[in-house]
Each structure stands twice: as structure tokens, then as C-alpha cells.
């Protein structure tokens, strides 16, 4: 089991564009959470998906949206990108409310 | 509001010396606290959680509800302990993790 995988590894976008990040959970996991980690900061919770629905949401604007597919993989979409959206985006998977396992992250740079 | 504070961004100690990474929290409910570690070029991983009361890689952490602290300790630091450490709490009834800013620990030979 490769654990949690994320794609792409790095991404450069221009302000105003839209981006989609992808996450495949660890085998057997059904819950996916997304976090944003700005430089020098700890990860901040964006939202969590379970049974293809958003179960929890952090303090992020509606420009941030997500989706979970029947195979439990997930996407994070960010519209109208701002310079401040530049960060490492982490995906974590878990079996229900048990321990979260993190992926390697996607580094997003907005220019 | 829930908050986790790690007052030291950087901490440097010599090999064999004791280590203490500080963590304070603010949470109105019954907290469930964790320490996560990120070694160089590796992903974030769980080091220990307070409910298991275990020692991992020689590290321990005790929840002090009176002082709202969950400091991470190790009596004798090793060079391989050099890493980024994050204290986190989980919101009761959810799986939302709230992280501190992290402490970069460097163990000098």
C-alpha cells in the first residue's frame, strides 16, 4: 500500500485561475480531509469528506470546494486564485474518526 | 475558539541533552491531543497521542488540564530526532485537527 497519494507534486498558476488537486486515500480508508499549510505555519483544516459529502468545514471561503468519489478519492478545487492561496495542500485519510494519515502534499504557487 | 500554541519556532539542543517542546491549548471541551512529526523529506506522521499514554522513540507527553499544556519530552536527545514537530488537538465529535505553528528541533552532535 503506497499510503495516501496526491497529485500533482507541484503546480504553478496565475492569479484568477482555477486549480484542481487530487488525493487517493490509504487502502481501506473512507474519510478524506484537506489542509492548507502556508510557509512557516501549521496545517489549517479546510474540509472533510465522508460518504461523498462534506462533513466538516473550516474557515475558508466558498472559492474552496471539494468532491469525494465512490472509490473514496477526493479533489480539492480552488477558484479565482489569489496570491495568498500559495501554500502546501495536504490530504489526510482515515477510517471514520480514527487516526489520520497524511499524503506528501501538493505545492501550489500562485503568481 | 480552539487554539494550539507552540511558543518556540526553533529549538536547538546537544545530543544527549534533555528535550522539551512546549504546547499549550485552548479548548472548552475535553481535549484529545497529539504530537505529529515531520522528518526531512518525509510526510507528516503521528508521533503520539495523549489517550494512549505511550512512549514512542523515547518521547512522552503528559496532558496537564490545569495548565492546559501537552509538552513533549525526551530525556536524552538523539541526532535523528531533528525534525519539525507539531502539536494538535482534535475537536470533540469531529475529526478536525487544529495544529500549532510547529517547532523545528535541531539536535547538535
- DSSP, collapsed to helix, strand or coil, labels residue A55 as strand
Contact indicator for A73, A66 with CB cutoff of 8 Å:
no
Euclidean distance between CA atoms B98 and B24, whole angstroms: 12
Please report which confidence band the pLDDT of residue A28 belongs to, taking 50, 70 and 90 as the band edges.
very high
Taking the CA of residue B21 as centre, how many other CA atoms within 13 Å lie in the half-sphere pointing to its CB?
A: 33
Option in B46, B98, B101 nearest A45 (CB): B98
Average pLDDT over residues A61-84: 97
To test the contact with chain B by mutation, choose from A100, A103, A104, A105 the residue with the greatest count of B C-beta atoms within 10 A, namely A100
Nearest to B43 among A42, A58, A103 (CB): A103
Residue A2: is its pLDDT beyond 80? Answer: no
For residue range B33-85, list pLDDT tens digits in order: 999 999 999 999 999 988 777 888 999 998 998 999 999 999 999 999 999 99
* Cα–chain center distance at B98: 12
Residues A102, B100: C-beta atoms closer than 8 Å: no
Average of per-residue pLDDT across A21-39: 96
Residue B88 touches chain A, beta carbons under 8 Å: yes
Mean pLDDT of A20-48: 96
Q: Are B85 and B109 within 8 A, CB to CB?
A: no
Amino acid at each position: 500500500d503506497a499510503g495516501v497519494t496526491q497529485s500533482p507534486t507541484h503546480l504553478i498558476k496565475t492569479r484568477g485561475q482555477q486549480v484542481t488537486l487530487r488525493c487517493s486515500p490509504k487502502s481501506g480508508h473512507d474519510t478524506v480531509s484537506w489542509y492548507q499549510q502556508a510557509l512557516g505555519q501549521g496545517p489549517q483544516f479546510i474540509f472533510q469528506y465522508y460518504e461523498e459529502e462534506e462533513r466538516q468545514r473550516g474557515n475558508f471561503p466558498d472559492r474552496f470546494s471539494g468532491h469525494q468519489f465512490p472509490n473514496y478519492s477526493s479533489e480539492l478545487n480552488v477558484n479565482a486564485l489569489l496570491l495568498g492561496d500559495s501554500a502546501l495542500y495536504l490530504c489526510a485519510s482515515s477510517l471514520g474518526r480514527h487516526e489520520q494519515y497524511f499524503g506528501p502534499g501538493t505545492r501550489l504557487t500562485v503568481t | 475558539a480552539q487554539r494550539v500554541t507552540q511558543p518556540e519556532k526553533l529549538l536547538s539542543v546537544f545530543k544527549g541533552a534533555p528535550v522539551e517542546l512546549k504546547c499549550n491549548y485552548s479548548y472548552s471541551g475535553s481535549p484529545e491531543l497529539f504530537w505529529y512529526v515531520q522528518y526531512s523529506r518525509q510526510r507528516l506522521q503521528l508521533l503520539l497521542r495523549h489517550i494512549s499514554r505511550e512512549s514512542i522513540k523515547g518521547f512522552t507527553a503528559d496532558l496537564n488540564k490545569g495548565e492546559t499544556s501537552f509538552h513533549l519530552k525526551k530525556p536524552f536527545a538523539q541526532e535523528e530526532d531533528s525534525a519539525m514537530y507539531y502539536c494538535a488537538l482534535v475537536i470533540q465529535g469531529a475529526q478536525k485537527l487544529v495544529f500549532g505553528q510547529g517547532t523545528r528541533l535541531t539536535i547538535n552532535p
